[in-house]
Amino acid sequence: MATVLVLGGGIGGSAAANALRARLSRGHRIIVIDRDAEQVFAPSLLWLMVGQRRPADISRPLAQTLRPGIEIVRSHVRELDPIARRVATDAGELTGDAVVIALGAELAPEAIPGYTHAAHDFFTLEGADRFASALARFEGGRVVVAVSALPFKCPAAPYEAAFLIDADLRRRGLRDRSTIELHTPEPAPMPVAGPVLGRAVVDLLAERGIGYFPGHPVEAYDAAARQVRFTDGSVAGHDLLAAVPPHRPPAAVVGSGLAGPTGWIPVDRGTLETSAPDVFAIGDVTAIALANGKLLPKAGVFAHAEAHVVAAQIASRLEGGPADRFDGQGYCWVELGSGVAGFAAGDFYATPDPAVVLRRPGRAWHAGKVLFERYWLSRGLEHELAGAGLRLGSVLLRVPARL
């Protein structure tokens, strides 16, 4: 019988392991390797950063996310030999008949001078929680949201952060004595999704009086001067700073021989197979080229869908049956605060550019995001509800754009 190694226990890795366990007979081993005992539901970090969630609300033991019959190795992936399908960890070596790489993107705050001492990071549980405390103490002044470098996961996150901060300050009666600015190296919001979506987000920022500065790469953060310095020589002062940390591919991926020039893993856009047979990669660690030459965004919804495709591919090779293909469909919520959200959805594999539309913001979309969160975090029902969550997204994709 076969052994399938799943590297990483995040949204993509846990979904892949669960889908494999559901498809494969019990004689096959499925092993998840992850150094963390807890899984954090990353989309909810934005609510945590403005005090609408607590850390315990959005995290759970990894073991609770996995079906019975899945083994867990608590260890760090050090090296990967894709030809031998051998993985070196702190707990020893493991060899599989198939490998699913779901290691995600690592955060590298040290890559930008001054980041660690100057900025609040809302991409980790601890960072988002610290920002929530700082925001609660904030009594007005200059707020800056900055994107340190490209690429980064969850393309909507910095925009949602600005919207949620704006809503919190309005609720507390502090907006009139505060300014909010968003600085990013991107030429437009979520540029991969196309100009229509970008213009819609820019309009939403303008409606709320949030300053928007695209094409603004960060050179350094200065904690003592409370400034962000940009590569064009300009600076932005702040009293409160939330910044997306730089991202990098995991070292084991870079050294595996699978990575492309950027350090991320090119894969077949339909099967998610790498250049090594029976070795697949999903989620943020991948580099999937679109028709317009850009790369598929790094987002949990893609990792989730890709996980089910890879499980079907592996099950088909081991036991026969149909082998699904990833179709490039994706969606994301854009939280605006005060119980209102937008919903962007479409075909990222469309030509010549992704066909993505932002639905008119409303309370129904916010309720849909809360429901999706509950699907993932409901104790004792994770395995059934994870599949239901995927179906929920498919239903929302078919909601008319005029809504």
For residue range 143-158, what is the model confidence (pLDDT) as tens digits? 999 999 999 999 999 9
Domains and CATH numbers, the chain: 3-105+249-326 (3.50.50.60), 109-246 (3.50.50.60)
Provide the percentage of residues in the chain whose pLDDT is more than 90.
90
Reported pTM? 0.93
Beta strands at 340-347 and 355-362: parallel, antiparallel or unpaired: antiparallel
Q: 18 falls in which pLDDT band (50, 70, 90)?
A: very high
What's the full length of the chain, in residues? 403
Contact 194, 223 (CB under 8 A): no
Q: Other C-beta atoms within 10 Å of 335: how many?
A: 27
| Token duo for residue 194 | 């196309």
Single-letter code of the amino acid located at 175: R
Which residues 6+ apart lie within 8 Å of 101 measured at CB? 7, 8, 80, 253, 258, 265, 274, 279, 280, 281, 282, 285
User: pLDDT for 160-208, tens place per residue?
Assistant: 999 999 999 999 999 999 999 999 999 999 999 989 899 999 999 999 9
Residue 299: exposure state from Cβ atoms within 10 A (0-12, 13-18, ≥19): buried
* pLDDT score of 391 more than 60: no
The distance of Cα 199 from the centroid of its chain, to the nearest Å, equals 22
Burial class (CB in 10 A: 0-12, 13-18, 19+), 106: middle
